Amino acid sequence: MIAAQDLSLPVGAAILGRPPQQAEAVLEALVDLHLLRSTSPERYQLHDLVQVYARTLAENRLSAAERTAILERVLCGYRRIGLATIELSEPSSALLSWIDAGWLEAPRGFDDPAAAFEWLDRELPTLRAVVRQATQAGGETAELVPGVVLSLVGYLMARNNAVDWCDLLSDALALDLDDRVRGMLVMHRGMSEAIAGLRDEPVQSFRDSAELFRRGGDAQGEVAATGNLGQMLNRLGRLDEAVEPIERALAINRELGNENQAAKSLRTLGNLFWMRGDHARGLETTEAALAYFRAAGEAWDIAMSLHILGEMRRQQTRYAEAVDHLLEAAGLYRSIGHLSGLMELLGDLAACHVESGAPDLAVPVFSEAIELAEELRDPGRARRFGAALDAALEQIEADG
């Protein structure tokens, strides 16, 4: 039925077409009969021979339509949980207004983004197998794949997982898609390329996605791609090139009444002003964006804005203010389970402690940053944090 041995309760419920509570009773009964193995609470595994037998039985007893319906229920379940992570961590995300509203009608399944992220950590191998199975199935089943892949943007960014993200996007982009959907997937490809550390590729992907949105008549998508292009150029230090797309995205978002997206553009513009040497304007603009996000209660955007402000204050050697901003941002990243944001922030916080003359405070922070980098499979950052930790320890020893 689905190409995976491991089953979580939500997936088992989707296969059975029953509410989770009823499905759990069935699955536990199968455990008692030794047809399933319970590997942890609400997670199950089929023995190899049982899996083969179950698949053969399903092919013989279920019609093709019934088997397709099972796969589609599983895909829709994954999509709903993926979207729940966005609703819970970034409720004003442009993606939530871009998708079909019907995708949000089912219960979320989770009320805490960190718990949903942890569930997806365990579920990702099965999810990838199901997406590949659906892609190969073609037809209406394959049409569900782009929505599933797009729904995972918050999770994959929080986990700094460019590898699985790129693979999932490749599966989706291999399908026959209209310009609007392809544009969104190509924009997400640019985001995955950016977190993979690529430089020219994300710039091209954002330009390509803007053109696809333009051809598809999707103004909201076009401005999102334009904003991402400006952010990427700014990140690469191509400041003169970044000004026009950032200002254009800000103007269009204001014209369309997209307050959250306008605030994101404003924050990027503030960072651009700062990098070009206009520090007063950079601080003022970034603080204005932060004020909006605080009023809107956007935890992820508040954390990111505080992180940027903390780095600005650090560069001004106003270390006490920098530490306050960074500690508040760290608490928010922890609360929503955004590990990649937390990892980068901890590296900056530890460096701030060292620069302010408190290397002893930096040691545990660097240590946690190294652990996160290893967990997120980022050896480059792990090495960099490790070297900085060694330097801090040497400084402590030299200070006696």
Which residues lie closer than 8 Å to 349 by C-beta, 6 or more apart? 310, 323, 326, 327, 330, 365
Give the pLDDT score at 208: 98
Q: Which of 57, 56, 117, 51 is nearest to 84 (CA)?
A: 117
> pLDDT, tens digit, for every residue of 315-371?
999 999 999 999 999 999 999 999 999 999 999 999 999 999 999 999 999 999 999
293 plus 185 within the same structural domain = yes
Confidence of residue 53 (pLDDT cuts 50, 70, 90): low
> How many Å apart are CA 251 and CA 48, to the nearest integer?
58
pLDDT for position 23: 81
User: Does one domain contain both 234 and 244?
Assistant: yes
**288 and 374 together in one domain:** no
Residue 324 class from Cβ within 10 Å (0-12 exposed, 13-18 middle, 19+ buried)? middle
Q: What is the domain count for the chain?
A: 2
Domain boundary among 281, 297, 313: 297
User: Which residue shows structure tokens 């700094």?
Assistant: 160
In a domain, 102, yes or no: no
In this prediction, what percent of the chain has a pLDDT beyond 90?
75
Q: In this structure, is residue 72 part of a structural domain?
A: no
Angle value at C-alpha 293, between 205 and 104, nearest 5 degrees:
65
Question: Could you say which of 297, 319, 335 is where a domain stops?
Answer: 297
Would residue 147 count as lying in a domain? no
CA distances from 169 to 163, 172, 242, 348 (A): 10, 5, 26, 31
The answer to whether residue 36 is domain-embedded is no
Residues 192 and 260 in one domain: yes
Domain holding 199, by residue range, is: 180-297
Residues 327 and 303 in one domain: yes
309: tokens are: 């402000």
Quote the CA–CA distance of 70 and 18 in Å, as a whole number.
11
* Residue 309, domain member (yes or no): yes
Is the predicted pLDDT of residue 54 greater than 70, yes or no?
A: no
Indicate if 279 and 310 belong to the same structural domain.
no
Q: Is residue 338 part of a domain?
A: yes
Residue 305 is assigned to a structural domain of this protein: yes
pLDDT of residue 46: 76
pLDDT at 373 over 90: yes
Higher pLDDT pick, 217 / 15? 217
Structural domain contains residue 272: yes
pTM of the model: 0.87
CATH of the domain at 203: 1.25.40.10
Residue 339: C-alpha distances to residues 83, 194, 324 (Å): 18, 17, 20
Same domain, 190 and 290: yes
Is the pLDDT at 79 greater than 90? The verdict is yes
pLDDT tens digit sequence for 61-75? 778 888 889 899 999
CB 78 within 8 A of CB 148: yes
Q: At what angle do helices 339-355 and 359-375 cross, to 10 degrees?
A: 160
CB 2 within 8 A of CB 15: yes
Q: Which string of DSSP letters, residue by residue, matches 154-185?
A: HHHHHTT-HHHHHHHHHHHHTS---HHHHHHH
State the pairing for strand pair 6-8/43-46. antiparallel
Residue 314: both structure tokens together: 């650090």
Quote the mean pLDDT of the chain: 92
- Of 297, 316, 347, the last residue of a domain is 297
Contacts of 140 (CB under 8 A, 6+ apart): 68, 72
Number of C-beta neighbours around residue 196 at 10 A:
15
Contact 70, 1 (CB under 8 A): yes
The pLDDT tens digits of the residues spanning 267-316 come to 999 999 999 999 999 999 999 999 999 999 989 999 999 999 999 999 99
| Same domain (yes/no): 312, 293 | no
Does residue 355 share a domain with residue 270?
no
Judged against a pLDDT cut of 70, whether residue 48 lies above it is answered with no
* 244 and 188 both lie in a single domain: yes
**374, 393: one domain:** yes
Q: Are residues 202 and 262 in the same domain?
A: yes
Give DSSP secondary structure letters for 75-133. HHHHHHHHHHHHHHH-TT-HHHHHS-GGGG-S--S-S-HHHHHHHHHHHHHHHHHHHHH
Does the pLDDT of residue 58 top 70, yes or no? no
